[in-house]
Chains A and B, each alone.
Chain A
Amino acid sequence: MLDFLKSPVIAVQEFCFLAGRTFRNLFRRPHYAADIFIQMDIIGVGSLPIVSMIGFFTGAVLGMQMSKALMQYGAVGQTGQLVAITMVRELGPVLTAVVVAGRNAAGIASELGSMKVTEQIDAMRALGTDPVQKLVKPRLVATCTVLPLLTIIADFVGLFGGFLIAYFILHLTGAQYWNNAWQSLEYLDVSFGLLKPFAFAFIVALVGCYYGLSTTGGTQGVGRSTTQAVVASMILIFVVNFFITRIYVSL
């Protein structure tokens, strides 16, 4: 039993060490600003098309589903409210994080994993660079910066998708939909809707880096690390989302 638990406990411990070293290095020089901007481009700009598409179709589907339910109560005019609350509180942050996890946790794990198995990480340390400073920190800073921004875009595009359904299928006016959506959102909705992607960014970046840097066993190991990074980051996103939502509803 103890042997069975040993490996996950060691993994959690090493993940915490990596997270601790990254936080400690956040304000230490050098900052590798160029690497941070490159990662923002890869993670942020690279994810923009897919995040926008998923946001748009999610908003549109929400518009259709909600209007069908609201029709029973003769409250189709409230569609904007339900789309806005669902997108901003839950689906915008979670879906964006899941997409970025699938795309970038995998990318980070495979890139760092390849560097590990070809001794580039050892070479980096031997040549005077801390891999946490050079590789992990820029990815964490970049993800924490772009994931909330991507979430805002996904929320807005989702609301726009809902609007198209409301306007063309439900025949609501633009003012009706947008006023209803805008007035339904409270300060807490928006702040928690932005706190979530910030927390998810830590998960995506650190889990990707952890699995990448702990890769062993050649190219097969890189594949294994990539899969594990995606699975672990997605599970953690949903678990952390549960706890943040629990805090939100208790306020």
Chain B
Amino acid sequence: MVEPAAGMLEQLDPSAARELPVLRLDRVTVAFGDLRALDQVSFQMRAGDSCVLLGAAASGKTVLLKTALGLLKPQSGRVWVFGKDITELPEERLFEIRARIGVLFQEGGLFDSLTIEENVGYPLENQPSLRCPPEEIRRRVQEALSFVELEHTLEKFPSELSGGMRRRVGIARAVVTEPRLVLYDSPTAGLDPITAYTIIALIVKERDLKNTATLMATHRYQDGHFLANYRYNPQTGGLEPAGLARTPTRFLVLREGRLVFEGTQAELEASRDPYVSKFVKRED
């Protein structure tokens, strides 16, 4: 497959742009010393796609997301984001690409010396390519915090918030730039079931309202089940079973750095692979 040149994606008409992968990994290997954190991983996502990356601890989920962001360089293989090969790009040229990707880090990754307002406004202030006028920043920060129902926390510091609230602020910061692709790294890890549901509901809300491509890494099968079978209802402001109107969601399973499964939820549940089936049953 021939990838378009830099900047070409923007010049294409919207329907053609939708057909191009927003993220593509081709036989990517990332190693730390002798340990292969990712081993020949290949997959791709198109605009508006919904993907769940399942895997146990240390299976390579975080490494995969960081590689997609260009935070880690692969030893071999290539990574394309929005049609641009980022594998060899220097750090300063990656900033423009990253400006169009939202990311929620495992622990939120909030700057503990900045207030919530400064945290959420950080990408708007520091991404020159977004060209956000300074007078717009506060309004957009308030909008993003309203989206996660934390508009009253503007002046607080991350240490004053609970773990779930910090994760919600992390989501606000990830979506404040209105990205076309959002990466979530174990968004429900370490949270109680009620808070975990709130976080997943926000992820589904973002996906359904703004049609963003969503890649969620998680070790909880239940999180993927919600993403695959529920939709956001703007009238009730909550999730409801999507029935036949569900967003097609692909499941990927990582095991010790290798992608051992890619398919639908039905295919995942029917899999005879001992690791995959055990994974699904254990989490069910």
A interface list, Cβ under 8 A from B:
115, 118-120, 122-130
Contacts and interface: CB of A to CB of B under 8 A. Distances in A.
A128 B95 CA distance: 5
A123 B111 contact: yes
Q: Name, among A119, A127, A129, the residue most crowded by chain B CB atoms within 10 Å (CB to CB).
A: A127
A195 B69 CA distance: 42
Interface stretch (B13-21, B121-129, B142-150): B121-129
Interface residues of B, number: 24
B107 to A, nearest CB: 6
B10 interface: no
A115 B126 CA distance: 18
A118 B109 contact: yes
A115 B112 CA distance: 9
B184 interface: no
A130 B105 contact: no
Contacts, number: 51
29 contacts: A118-B109, A118-B112, A119-B105, A119-B106, A119-B107, A119-B109, A120-B109, A120-B112, A122-B71, A122-B109, A123-B103, A124-B111, A125-B71, A125-B91, A126-B69, A126-B71, A126-B98, A126-B105, A127-B98, A127-B122, A127-B123, A127-B173, A128-B95, A128-B99, A128-B123, A128-B128, A128-B129, A129-B122, A130-B92
Contacts of A125: 71, 91, 98
Interface string B260-273: 00000000000000
A123 B92 contact: no
A118 B129 CA distance: 27
Contacts of A119: 105-107, 109
B140 interface: no
B66 interface: yes
A118 B107 contact: yes
Contacts of A118: 107, 109, 112
Given A120-B111, A123-B110, A126-B69, 6 more contacts: A115-B111, A118-B109, A119-B107, A128-B126, A130-B91, A130-B95
